[in-house]
Chain A
Amino acid sequence: MSLSTTIKTIQDIMRKDAGVDGDAQRISQLVWMLFLKVFDDAEAEREVMEDRYRSPIPEKLRWRTWATDAEGITGDALLDFVNNELFKTLKELSVGGKNAALAGVVRGVFEDAYNYMKSGTLMRQVINKLNEIDFNRQSDKHEFGDVYEKILSDLQNAGNAGEFYTPRAVTQFMVDQVDPKLGEVVLDPACGTGGFLTCTIEHIRKKYVKDADDEDALQKSIRGVEKKPLPHLLCVTNMLFHGIAVPSQIRHDNTLARPLRDYGPKDRVDVIVTNPPFGGMEEDGIEQNFPQAFRTRETADLFLVLLMHLLKPEGRAALVLPDGTLFGEGVKTRIKEKLLEECNLHTVVRLPKGVFNPYTSIKTNLLFFTKGEPTKTVWFYEHPYPPGAKSYSKTKPLRIEEFAAEKKWWNKRKENDQAWKVSLKDIQDRGYNLDIKNPRAVDDGPGDADTLLREYREAAAEAARLRDQLRDELAKALRGEA
């Protein structure tokens, strides 16, 4: 049975449980169980590698002890164990000693989690289903990302708008171009379920990691912050799953909630890759954390300000922004002015509509910049739909291969049908409106009426000729003269 089918079966079992109400609770229930299992699988691997590894979880609470035996405790006994032992202990897990960081991760997960299920028997069924998944098998590992997306889209339906799953092709392209190196601290301040971070991990592993010390350095350099508990939990699980042994650097917090001036040099990072929530509004008072000139309730704009602040000099960033920020005025203008003064906004990749389908159909842009030098020229690249396509969809998403043209162009930039450059002066003259159209766009209005009329008549005559030819052929056939 495939992984996504398994997950679906699990959700179906949960639906029978009187205690679990609605998608949000179902997902939340699934996520802590998934965490414990993934955590256990990861521990099993570490135990093979490290002789002296000791789990931060008490032996009787470990997944392998109580869950893996399909005939193990069930019914009321199981329910009692989960509610009164497992949750109680893990929520208050002491975070001291050698394993402090890892214990902190476990405790952090359970502080936000609840057991909604009220039937121990159904819970046993769920556990047994979960145990059918072998996360050490490559094919299952591969599919895990899909399951995440499924869970995430369920989350959307459960009514949590504002966060969009970033298509894998987009995250990978952004990470590839920013090219985070070994030892560089990489941050996603709105990390969601960790798409950018896992992409970064894979990128660095593939390109730079050569030995165990390198791997150690990588493990220390990944940071993420997520505001909502459920995506945070998924992110932590995702990190474990991608071999980050102690995902303690994924914090459950709102990056914007801290006054900007409180972020000091030690908070600065080398690389930021992110897709900040947009369209969403922050709660009252959040904008007070920002200097007067940049106060706005549009989350994406606040994140842009934060990014500039959090980068080290010469730090690099790539982020997704909606068209609205590019052409917006007022506070948005001031933010863009600051961006162009303090950073070199070298590239804007303009994506067509539908990349984020089905979450939102608005047009988005990928901004790439480096801190510490002012912008002189901005290169724009208009990403076209693949030939024949009119939009993207869930079944026909943007594919990484489509970025091959951008990658080829990246280091040898020339103006072409897709790419054009705009000088700082021009941008200033436009009042920092970055919504700059492709000057070579094919559709430049209807054109000259007289020329069109001539072309129209030619086409009409041609069509008439073909029509008559076809008519005669068919008439012949119908009359039996073929």
Chain B
Amino acid sequence: MAAKNGGVAKGAASSRNGGTAERGRVGAKGDGAVPRRGDTEKTAKSEVPASSRRGSSVPPEVEEVLSDGGFTVERFVECFDVLVEAAGGTERLRELVLELGIGGRLAPANSPDLHSSGILSAIAAAQVSAVYAGDIDAPPTAEAIRGEEMRHDLPRGWSWARLSQVALTIQIGPFGSLLHQSDYVNGGTPLVNPANIKPPSIVPDGNKTVSLATLKRLRHYVLRTGDIVMGRRGEMGKCAVVGSGENGWLCGTGSLYVRLTPHMESKFIALWLRSPSVRLRLEGESVGATMNNLNLRILNSLVIAVPPLSAQKTIVAHVDQLMALIDELEAKQTRKRELGTRFIKASLDALTTAESPEEFDTAWKRVVENWETVLDGFERVAELRHAILALGLRGRLVSSRRNSDALAELRRNRSGIHALQGTHIPHAIPSHWVWIRLNDLLESLTDGDHQPPPQVPSGIPFLTIGNVSTGRLDFRDTRYVPASYFEALDSRRVPRSGDILYTVVGASYGRPVLVNESRPFCVQRHIAILRPDGTCLREYLYAFLRSELAYSQATRSITGTAQPTVPLRPLREFIVPIPPLAEQRLVVLKIEHFMKHCDELEAKLRRAEDRASKLTEAVVAEMVG
């Protein structure tokens, strides 16, 4: 339902004014006074809580960061709340933690057990003996590391190296020609392709297993405990450490593995590969037109800051701990947002369905007191819009004028109008209002031509669902029909100014559009054309059609199996609450007023969220350097 009016830019209340006008109504408790805007604004300011974390205002410190880019730890701490709540914020934090880890900022600054240069010579020795034993091919000669490749200051005890100097060997999975469809058997040894790497684990595919014979033939590609297996295509940096349970599995065509000596901690290399700066380098270097593809040369020449072994272990432990904290925080945030969404639904429901003044009062108080929660994020403005429409159609936005009677007024214009009573009626309305069928307010109700129309490159615009489902007529990207076809159409099937279009087929059914358009056009048969006969204000009818009241009737009348369809017959039978004409005007004015504020509010919230996510990008960029 949220999707129905979501994203439709059409008006509504800023927190202050939306709140206060309602407030006035409650204060008045039905005594007839229409609240004036000026005097209520004052009360509202004091009632509505000041700022919200994810709320409508952008904290000044965020703007500072974004404007001058200067970034300090103090600012990071100040912006932290905004950062964490931003879309993608926790993901950025994870990246930040990885980056801090591999840069040595999560390890104790002193007491290195051994300088890591010792590790490097031990690894070089291990490589030599492995080459002699025939276990590996000779590693490439490492080029000297250039100044610009040393990306940050080294912590004490660390040293720069190329990955080829750190790994015992790096091996790319067997070429496709070495592994055929016919090599796959049931119940054999699993293959590790990029799809099987779900960091930090490896998830085998029961259908992709090979026999021992194949394994023997491809023994150079067999994984061992402690290897890091990584996808070399598509998403870069997706890797996992081979555990003892996966020892002996086969490295797939799309993967590669890094084998280490005991001088290095596998998990450290895994998080190094996952870190954003390394991923960025891999993405920049990888080759291939449709899919990124890594080769050995790229891998071997990567530059890494190598910590002493004990520091590697500390870093891994510290990163794990921080990651767990982020996971926990994320889970809590999700839960909080869920509850918030349900709360706003429930509290607005209670508001719109309140029967007695007391109930209404309680419900209203709850909404105002929790304004901050209620409007936590722009998506929620849609709910507010529904509530405004619902209140309008229940006669709660205007004072009643009991001197006129809606039914009598309608009957003066049109005979045979039948007032509905009893079980059909969805909710209470003021006594001088009346429930009638939609059909009693229409001159005609049709839909677009049922024959597929001839198409021409230019001519009369032919609008489809996509051109109207945003709530406005959108003449970009329309199809065209020839003038001859257009002229042959029944005049009731040609929309004109004053009509209301209503989508009746497809997932986006139940969206009205008011036609204010002088140029000729026609519509697809998935769009109904309602032509009001003037007994009722068309803007009022439009407000009704946007409401949950109309949408729920549409939903109930859905038929059609492949695509939801609201047939015209039940559409005619929709029941509408009708106030006297003068009151319709007031209701429409009120609704438009609040909707305008909703627009502003939504725009503000969107901007706030946009700034927040820009901030997170900026933070990480700064940290990664």
Interface residue ranges, A against B (CB under 8 Å): 1-2, 139, 161, 278-279, 298, 300, 322-325, 328, 360, 362, 445-450, 452-453, 455-456, 459-460, 462-463, 466-467, 469-471, 473-475, 477-480, 482
Contacts of B100 in A (CB 8 A): 474, 477-478
B 340-351 to A, binary, CB cutoff 8 A, 1 in contact else 0: 101101110110
Contacts of A480 in B (CB 8 A): 105, 109
A-B contact pairs, 30 of them (CB 8 A): A278-B562, A298-B561, A300-B561, A323-B561, A324-B560, A325-B561, A446-B345, A448-B346, A449-B343, A449-B346, A449-B363, A450-B366, A452-B342, A452-B346, A456-B336, A456-B343, A462-B332, A466-B328, A470-B84, A470-B325, A470-B326, A471-B77, A471-B84, A474-B80, A474-B100, A474-B322, A475-B77, A479-B73, A480-B105, A482-B107
Q: Which residue from A279, A445, A449, A471 sits with its C-beta under 8 Å from B561?
A: A279
Alpha-carbon separation in the docked complex, A161 to B93 (Å): 48
With an 8 A cutoff between CB atoms, is B432 at the interface? no
Q: How far is the CB of B313 from chain A (nearest CB, A)?
A: 14
Contact B342 A279 (CB under 8 A): no
Contact A452 B343 (CB under 8 A): yes
Q: How far is the CB of A136 from chain B (nearest CB, A)?
A: 15
Q: How far is the CB of A398 from chain B (nearest CB, A)?
A: 17
Q: Which residue from A2, A456, A477 sits with its C-beta under 8 Å from B373?
A: A456
Contact B561 A470 (CB under 8 A): no
Alpha-carbon separation in the docked complex, A445 to B336 (Å): 17
Across chains A and B, which 8 residue pairs bring their CB atoms closest together, nearest first?
A279-B562, A449-B346, A446-B346, A446-B345, A463-B332, A456-B339, A459-B336, A446-B342
With an 8 A cutoff between CB atoms, is B212 at the interface? no
Contact A362 B322 (CB under 8 A): no
With an 8 A cutoff between CB atoms, is B81 at the interface? yes
Contacts of A453 in B (CB 8 A): 343, 347, 366, 370, 373
Q: A360-B562, A452-B342, A482-B108 are in contact. Are A473 and B322 (CB under 8 A)?
A: yes
Q: How far is the CB of A465 from chain B (nearest CB, A)?
A: 9
With an 8 A cutoff between CB atoms, is B29 at the interface? no
Alpha-carbon separation in the docked complex, A455 to B343 (Å): 9
Alpha-carbon separation in the docked complex, A467 to B90 (Å): 10
Contact B329 A470 (CB under 8 A): yes
Contact B76 A449 (CB under 8 A): no
With an 8 A cutoff between CB atoms, is B222 at the interface? no
- The chain A residue sitting closest to B78, CB to CB, is A471
With an 8 A cutoff between CB atoms, is B451 at the interface? no
B105-139 residues with Cβ-Cβ distance < 8 A to A are 105-109
Contact A463 B336 (CB under 8 A): yes
Most buried by B among A1, A324, A467, A469: A467
Alpha-carbon separation in the docked complex, A139 to B183 (Å): 11
Contact A459 B105 (CB under 8 A): no
With an 8 A cutoff between CB atoms, is B181 at the interface? yes
Contacts of A470 in B (CB 8 A): 84, 93, 322, 325-326, 329
Alpha-carbon separation in the docked complex, A467 to B109 (Å): 25
Contact B561 A482 (CB under 8 A): no
Alpha-carbon separation in the docked complex, A279 to B559 (Å): 10
Alpha-carbon separation in the docked complex, A182 to B609 (Å): 66
User: Could you tell me the dominant secondary structure of chain B's interface residues?
Assistant: helix
Q: A360-B562, A478-B76 are in contact. Are A459 and B339 (CB under 8 A)?
A: yes
Q: Which residue from A300, A449, A466 sits with its C-beta under 8 Å from B350?
A: A449
Contact B332 A466 (CB under 8 A): yes
With an 8 A cutoff between CB atoms, is B318 at the interface? yes
Q: How far is the CB of A403 from chain B (nearest CB, A)?
A: 18
Contacts of B73 in A (CB 8 A): 475, 478-479
Contact A482 B343 (CB under 8 A): no
With an 8 A cutoff between CB atoms, is B37 at the interface? no
Q: A446-B346, A466-B332 are in contact. Are A324 and B559 (CB under 8 A)?
A: yes
Alpha-carbon separation in the docked complex, A448 to B342 (Å): 9
Contacts of A445 in B (CB 8 A): 345-346
Q: How far is the CB of A446 from chain B (nearest CB, A)?
A: 4
Q: How far is the CB of A364 from chain B (nearest CB, A)?
A: 9
Q: How far is the CB of A250 from chain B (nearest CB, A)?
A: 27
B344-398 residues with Cβ-Cβ distance < 8 A to A are 345-347, 349-350, 363, 366, 370, 373
B 92-103 to A, binary, CB cutoff 8 A, 1 in contact else 0: 010011001000
Contact A463 B333 (CB under 8 A): yes
16 additional contacts (CB under 8 A) given A449-B349, A470-B326, A482-B107: A1-B181, A279-B560, A324-B560, A362-B561, A445-B345, A445-B346, A446-B346, A449-B343, A453-B373, A456-B336, A466-B329, A473-B325, A474-B322, A478-B76, A480-B109, A482-B109
With an 8 A cutoff between CB atoms, is B182 at the interface? yes
B 315-335 to A, binary, CB cutoff 8 A, 1 in contact else 0: 000100010011011001101
Alpha-carbon separation in the docked complex, A470 to B80 (Å): 9
B164-193 residues with Cβ-Cβ distance < 8 A to A are 181-182
Alpha-carbon separation in the docked complex, A222 to B562 (Å): 30
Contact B561 A455 (CB under 8 A): no
Most buried by B among A449, A467, A475: A449
Contact B347 A449 (CB under 8 A): yes
Contacts of A450 in B (CB 8 A): 366
- The chain A residue sitting closest to B369, CB to CB, is A453
Alpha-carbon separation in the docked complex, A298 to B84 (Å): 53
Q: How far is the CB of B15 from chain A (nearest CB, A)?
A: 18
Q: How far is the CB of A139 from chain B (nearest CB, A)?
A: 7
- The chain A residue sitting closest to B366, CB to CB, is A449
Contact B329 A467 (CB under 8 A): yes
Contacts of A471 in B (CB 8 A): 77, 80, 84
Contacts of B560 in A (CB 8 A): 279, 324
Alpha-carbon separation in the docked complex, A448 to B362 (Å): 13
Q: How far is the CB of A201 from chain B (nearest CB, A)?
A: 23
Alpha-carbon separation in the docked complex, A139 to B182 (Å): 8
Alpha-carbon separation in the docked complex, A447 to B346 (Å): 6
Contact B80 A467 (CB under 8 A): yes
Contact A475 B335 (CB under 8 A): no
Alpha-carbon separation in the docked complex, A478 to B103 (Å): 11
Q: How far is the CB of B58 from chain A (nearest CB, A)?
A: 19
Q: Which residue from A278, A324, A446, A467 sits with its C-beta under 8 Å from B343?
A: A446
Q: A324-B560, A456-B373 are in contact. Are A482 and B318 (CB under 8 A)?
A: yes
- The chain B residue sitting closest to A364, CB to CB, is B561
B53-84 residues with Cβ-Cβ distance < 8 A to A are 73, 76-77, 80-81, 84
Contacts of A460 in B (CB 8 A): 336
Contacts of A362 in B (CB 8 A): 561-562
Alpha-carbon separation in the docked complex, A450 to B350 (Å): 11
B538-591 residues with Cβ-Cβ distance < 8 A to A are 559-562
Contact B332 A2 (CB under 8 A): no
Alpha-carbon separation in the docked complex, A105 to B613 (Å): 67
Q: How far is the CB of B262 from chain A (nearest CB, A)?
A: 26
Alpha-carbon separation in the docked complex, A459 to B332 (Å): 6
Contact A478 B105 (CB under 8 A): yes
Contacts of B333 in A (CB 8 A): 463
Q: How far is the CB of B384 from chain A (nearest CB, A)?
A: 15
Contacts of A467 in B (CB 8 A): 80-81, 84, 329
Alpha-carbon separation in the docked complex, A358 to B84 (Å): 38
Alpha-carbon separation in the docked complex, A201 to B560 (Å): 34
Q: How far is the CB of A249 from chain B (nearest CB, A)?
A: 30
Contacts of A475 in B (CB 8 A): 73, 76-77
Q: How far is the CB of B86 from chain A (nearest CB, A)?
A: 12
Alpha-carbon separation in the docked complex, A442 to B260 (Å): 49
Alpha-carbon separation in the docked complex, A448 to B363 (Å): 12
Q: How far is the CB of A202 from chain B (nearest CB, A)?
A: 18
- The chain A residue sitting closest to B107, CB to CB, is A482
Q: How far is the CB of A442 from chain B (nearest CB, A)?
A: 12
- The chain B residue sitting closest to A472, CB to CB, is B77
Q: How far is the CB of A350 from chain B (nearest CB, A)?
A: 15
B 146-161 to A, binary, CB cutoff 8 A, 1 in contact else 0: 0000000000000000
Contacts of A322 in B (CB 8 A): 561
Alpha-carbon separation in the docked complex, A323 to B346 (Å): 29
- The chain A residue sitting closest to B565, CB to CB, is A324
Q: How far is the CB of A391 from chain B (nearest CB, A)?
A: 14
